Structure 1
């Protein structure tokens, strides 16, 4: 291998059970087609039990790109700043000689302690994380995309987001079989793909790191032709939900809040009404459109993969495919990425390692993996080093068929539901800002949801895989609830911020301890080789 390239593909709101390779592995017939993702899965390893560490977009991307759990990076919601002290993948790549390029967005609000309060980045949902070089900006306010559309000769409407209305003056906003008013050649997915090919051609074969972001299948749920009717609603899986929104909301106060609060307008441009009242036909149509948006991305990825093939770079490139978070898609009478349900947190992870074991190509890996593992994985492959504070671990051993002996035995994820300018649950729930949070610990058998100031939830996944029956107060499960609560507490203690906890002063001066050392006592300490700014 003469060079090492990394292509990190980050889609938006693509949930794990919409990956055909995983569906086939579970004995299910896929209801959508993604031939280019299928190729990636066939040449790499697909991780079947992968979750984002948190939702929504800003917190999820902070965890993905810093390797930190929400409890440590504390960019707990969209619009909440990311502490400038945190190291990230972009900065780590610069330390080993890469100029990390980014197409898309990271939804990062800057640290107000080092940023003027008049900075226009405080007027938007989030901007670009420090350390990356933008080569295809979406933010602020999608200006980069809309400017590209106009430059290509398309006349934007006065409200430029009306390009995502269904075609036809008689169209009714909402779940629709009609195409969007923007042609596929000028869709946001085409924009990101054009930016990617422009960047790669400019590199002219030199080593690269490219974060290739896509906005889809994020709402608004309307697809350009021909993707709008590529799939039939009747072929889509039915929603998993209680018999009514009221019954769903009765399970827990947080679910009741979202069932009552979610608006259709956040998911279908121009629509009105409650998102919880979509009927099954509307949900199936929404899912057909969602699949169409996925197939559009897949076609776009095919163009990027073809260029890497043509230039002989495919076999030198580590390809990582993932999403920031999932999407409820009507399950549990919910839309979006919220709460504690698997649909919001389970996401794809596919890694094509050119140096991986031949016998692992096409493999399905069942080990529990989390989005905090992506940063250390990429650095491991490039010969770099993840910072001590990083909560994740490299998954590269799995591409060689090796499961580390100390690999995690549970999944962990978090959600902070404090007030932001577009969602205000605190008053309804009777909570303070710092009480509005939850964490989840989950394995193949049970799932425990701990709230800072609301009742807990406990599910027996073997008997209730869709998580309708809360057993937290069932005396027969009291010992298990205790055990999983203790596991959650131990997890949080183990992963408390450890940026400097491996250093000490001594009569010999500053010393550093190797966290992986087998020795004990003074033998495990030595003079530090460096004290990084990470």
Structure 2
């Protein structure tokens, strides 16, 4: 059984063949896009990449996906051959997607919030979870993977972990899970000395982060089933209507006709940041001294 949350199974949405014609084209309103996109395009000269070259990039990625699919098949086949498939669950997931020409760039970026980067593959199968090939159209987050594994193993989840087990959703497509999914990334400018220094082929990308650390400034995104809202520490916000703009190419933030949606999602980001910012530790601090002073005596009664 596979799950299909706010990302696709096995490969990001931009790999569909009918989207190939959009690869390598900058968005229609460059003034509304995050600044790192233009910086990356200019640093690498990506405006000179031809459609044929972008197709070669995509074909290479397809090849890697096919190889991965074969390796997953080898693992699940070995489990079945060993007679352990009834009590073994196999999970495959990734930590990010890819720009494969989307928005005219390639690879990933620390503060990228576009669907093609934040939509990660997730496959869960085995142990009688259901018939193979099923999908779940639910909003989920990658932090849900850990409590799912613990739930499958019968182990209590950590105190105040913000992930939620996917097991109820795997067993019942109608089970409630999340209304919103959040993503965060990037750094503050004060963290510039700790940012990576890289050799070829990542030298240009790494150099950009040191030249202008605001290009990788902290960002938070929230998604519901139709909209994506991105709040950036050093830049303007972004609002995309995925129902009509699946590649998130038109930034609608600041437009009066979408003010209510923007306000609602901005408030959701603020609430989420407050709810997840600080928690009481599950265990007492080991350095905390024992304090057991005698209570003061009650005053004498006259």
TM-score, length basis structure 1: 0.45
Q: Which residue of 1 aligns with 2:300?
A: none
Q: For the structure 1 residues 394 and 458, does the alpha-carbon distance in structure 2 shift closer, same or farther, using more than 3 Å as the test? A: same
Residue 391 of structure 1: which of 131, 140, 162 is its match?
162
Alignment of 1:442 onto 2:223 = yes
- Aligned mates of 2:280, 2:7 — CA distance in 1: 26
Alignment of 1:344 onto 2:126 = no
Deviations 1:103-127 (A, max 9, x none): xxxxxxxxxxxxxxxxxxxxxxxxx
Alignment of structure 1 residues 33-44 onto 2, 5 Å: 44=1
Deviations 1:346-372 (A, max 9, x none): 01112114142x4x6432101111110
Alignment of 1:335 onto 2:106 = yes
Report the Cα offset of residue 397 of structure 1. 0.6
Q: Which residue of 2 aligns with 1:319?
A: 90
Say how many residue pairs are matched: 267
Report the Cα offset of residue 281 of structure 1. 0.8
Alignment of 1:379 onto 2:150 = yes
Deviations 1:161-207 (A, max 9, x none): xxxxxxxxxxxxxxxxxxxxxxxxxxxxxxxxxxxxxxxxxxxxxxx
Deviations 1:437-487 (A, max 9, x none): 101011122111101121111112223222222121212222221111101
Residue 411 of structure 1: which of 181, 188, 199 is its match?
181
* Bigger fraction of residues in helix: 2
- Aligned mates of 1:482, 1:371 — CA distance in 2: 26
Q: For the structure 1 residues 440 and 371, does the alpha-carbon distance in structure 2 shift closer, same or farther, using more than 3 Å as the test? A: same
Whether the 8 Å CA contact 2:32–2:250 is kept in 1: the answer is no
- Aligned mates of 1:448, 1:254 — CA distance in 2: 18
Report the Cα offset of residue 403 of structure 1. 4.8
Q: Which residue of 2 aligns with 1:483?
A: 264
Q: For the structure 1 residues 310 and 242, does the alpha-carbon distance in structure 2 shift closer, same or farther, using more than 3 Å as the test? A: closer
Report the Cα offset of residue 395 of structure 1. 0.3
Whether the 8 Å CA contact 1:248–1:333 is kept in 2: the answer is no
Q: Which runs of 5+ in 1 are unaligned?
A: 1-43, 52-216, 218-232, 264-273, 504-508, 510-534
Alignment of 1:49 onto 2:6 = yes
Q: Which runs of 5+ in 2 are unaligned?
A: 199-205, 285-291, 293-302
Q: Which residue of 1 aligns with 2:38?
A: 256
Deviations 1:3-62 (A, max 9, x none): xxxxxxxxxxxxxxxxxxxxxxxxxxxxxxxxxxxxxxxxx13224249xxxxxxxxxxx
Deviations 1:417-439 (A, max 9, x none): 5642242446765749xx92101
- Aligned mates of 2:85, 2:264 — CA distance in 1: 47
- Aligned mates of 1:442, 1:245 — CA distance in 2: 20
TM-score, length basis structure 2: 0.77
Whether the 8 Å CA contact 1:448–1:484 is kept in 2: the answer is yes
Q: CA RMSD in A?
A: 3.3
Report the Cα offset of residue 300 of structure 1. 2.4
Whether the 8 Å CA contact 2:143–2:163 is kept in 1: the answer is yes
